[in-house]
Structure 1
Amino acid sequence: MTDDETPELPRGIALAWGVAANPQRGPKREMSVEKIVEAAVALADAEGISAVSMAAVAAKLGFTPMSLYRYVSAKDDLLLLMQEEATGLPPEAFRDHDGWRAKLRALFEAQTLIFLQHPWILSLPITGSPITPNSSAWMDAGLEALSGTPLNERERMAAALAVSGHARWYGMVLSGYAEQSRLTGLTAEQVSAREAALFDRVITEEEFPHLRHAIDAGIFTAEDDPFRFALERTLDGLESYIAALDRGETHEVETAWLPEEHAEVASDKRVREAAKAVRAAEKALRDARKHERQVRKEARERSVRRN
């Protein structure tokens, strides 16, 4: 493709924007892209993303899989449209908050709620920016929240993406706890207590001194929300950066992406094999040190008994 050529929209994205060609054949009155996507989302909400297939969605609608392919020609397109439908539009109410910080916090909470309502979204692979209407609206909302700040456009996008990243990670953890509660019948607090007890059994001070100290301090059963703490500290840093810009100060910030050759090197088969050997050697070293600590402990105990 030359620089002056405009790339053609992939069919999934074209469907999301409503600019894809309609099928020439098929049960037009009873079937539509919207109905297919709604059925697929309902199936994923009820049974998980693994239950979603073209055949399963067709059966839910009472049609053959071939009927679906006339409207949505690939499962990847269906997954894109499902994510678009489940994500929806950002809430208008975020604009009611005063200041960029409160607006970003409101968007963070709204995104987290979406992940809790549709946790299967978190299992979808990220293959790039989702160039769809609803996803674009969320990005636009984040930029709008920061529109009155001295940040430039790149900095606003980076800040909005950071908040979205916090929401995604928060949603992963909360939905994981919800799934454990569903499977075990335990409350979220009981799941946390069970997790803490398991950590307590396997984490020793000799091998993981800092993690052991955190466990002894009750970190896994504390009522504090570490994810909101992390979000607020991120916003603190952004607020400090904005204040510095208001004072006329400038900051040198590393903005370059990782060099492409890093990805190429990392994907080289020989590099992967060498890295695997390093991990095996590191594990053997940890095991040896653990054995040494155990032997020393036993030796000290024997010495105490003799004396």
Structure 2
Amino acid sequence: MSDVEEPELPRGIALAWGVAANPQRGPKREMSVERIVDAAVEIADAEGLGAVSMAAVASRLGYTPMSLYRYVSAKDDLVLLMQEEATGLPSEESRGAGGWRAQLEALYHEQVQAYLRHPWVLEVPIRGIPSTPNSAAWMDAGLRAMSDTPLTHDERLAVLLIVTGAARWTGIVLASYARLERERGMGEHDITRYEDALFRSLITADAFPALREAIDAGAFLDESDPFSFGLERSLDGVAAYIDAVTEGRRPERAPWQGLDDAEIADDKRYREAQKAVREAEKSLRDAHRMLRQTAREARDRRSRQRGDG
């Protein structure tokens, strides 16, 4: 049992779950939270999240902004409800796609497509654990996909973070390229060839040997899906972990490190060690720069010697 009192639901979350009190009065019966959210989503789909305001939504519906505030009391609540609407629900096909891995891959692809339909969702700040019905449904679907595995509940959540994180990153990149295609009037392959040519003109083997090698190998013209490849290799690791747990060899997990060592940030010796690391990293960068410069000069001397000979 928990001693924490049940929290009072914020207005936006209460609206999402359908447990918020209805407004005492409104301009017309035709007005509703659902109509307000639909109008806001239409604006965001057409013009981006920045174009959404209470005034813009009210104008689209033919009401005054004050009329909307009786139903949605703050723009943050409206954005939360818009995100909920755009997120939708996972399909029955993804829920029954096969084993745990097939289901997670299906959920990943559906999430990516949702981001591409509503790319403005990617601009909504992350404010903690998803707490609306549709977002909870996606989490539930991912966790249910792993219900027959020997993973603990916290391990299943960690795997789900891999999948949702991969979907979000894929959505960010693909949505950005889709916007580039519209703005430049170029097709996907045109942009790919342009970027490859740009890289070839800027990246030298002396300064960036590994990157130049990848360019020369045609890596940036490859038409395979790098995002799916990354997810598949991550799930390979999960599968290997599941096999180890099944055989009674549960690997020891590292403790949570957080984003920073805030508890010891004011320790003098710790700060001195951090400073030493930064100085060492700078010295290493300088050494690499010197190495590249020396290599160029050596090649120039070798070239002149061959010319003189």
State the TM-score, normalized to the length of structure 2: 0.87
Q: Distance in 1 between matches of 2:33 and 2:264?
A: 39
RMSD of aligned residue pairs (Cα, Å): 2.9
Separation in 1, partners of 2:27, 2:217: 63
Report how far residue 304 of structure 1 moved.
4.6
Measured after TM superposition, the shift of residue 236 of structure 1 is 0.9
SS state at 2:36 partner? helix
Q: State whether residues 206 and 296 of structure 2, in contact with CA within 8 Å, keep that contact through their aligned partners in structure 1.
A: no
Corresponding position of 1:169: 169
C-alpha displacement at 1:150, in angstroms?
Answer: 0.6
Counterpart for residue 209 of structure 2? 209
Partner of 1:8: 8
Give the corresponding residue for 1:197: 197
SS of the residue 1:220 aligns to: helix
Q: Which residue of 2 aligns with 1:44?
A: 44
- Kindly provide the CA deviation profile for residues 5-56 of structure 1, in whole angstroms up to 9, marking residues without a partner as x: 2221111111111112222232141211111111111111111112111111
Return the offset for 1:167.
Answer: 1.0
Deviation of 1:222 after TM superposition, in Å, equals 0.4
In 2, Cα distance between equivalents of 1:263 and 1:181: 47
Q: State how far apart, in whole Å, the 2-side matches of 1:168 and 1:180 are.
A: 18
Provide the rounded CA distance (Å) in 2 between the counterparts of 1:10 and 1:296: 67
Q: Which runs of 5+ in 1 are unaligned?
A: none
Identity %: 55
Kindly indicate whether residue 97 of structure 2 is the aligned counterpart of residue 97 of structure 1.
yes
More off after superposition, 132-141 vs 202-211: 202-211
Matches within 5 A, 1:156-305: 156-258=156-258, 261-262=261-262, 265=265, 285=286, 298=300, 300-305=302-307
C-alpha displacement at 1:202, in angstroms? Answer: 1.4
1:60 aligns with 2:60: yes
Task: Kindly provide the CA deviation profile for residues 144-191 of structure 1, in whole angstroms up to 9, marking residues without a partner as x.
Answer: 000011111011111112111111111112212211111122211111
1:151 corresponds to which letter in structure 2? L
Query: TM-score if structure 1 supplies the norm length?
Result: 0.87
Q: Is the 8 A contact 2:87 2:134 kept in 1?
A: yes
Partner letter of residue 122 of structure 1? L
> CA 1:21/1:111 → structure 2, altered by over 3 Å: closer, same or farther?
same
Amino acid at match of 1:243: D
Does structure 1 residue 153 correspond to structure 2 residue 153?
yes
2 CA distance for matches of 1:71 and 1:264?
Answer: 47
Q: Cα gap change, 1:293/1:260 in structure 2, threshold over 3 Å: closer, same or farther?
A: closer
Aligned residue pairs: how many?
300
Q: Which runs of 5+ in 2 are unaligned?
A: none
Structure 1 CA distance, aligned partners of 2:167 and 2:104? 11
CA distance in structure 2 between the aligned counterparts of 1:206 and 1:263, rounded to whole angstroms: 43
* 1:96 to 1:259, Cα distance in 2 relative to 1, 3 A: closer
**Tell me, what secondary structure is at the counterpart of 1:236?**
helix
1:257 shift after superposition:
3.8
Q: Distance in 2 between matches of 1:229 and 1:284?
A: 31
Secondary structure at 1:121 match in 2:
helix
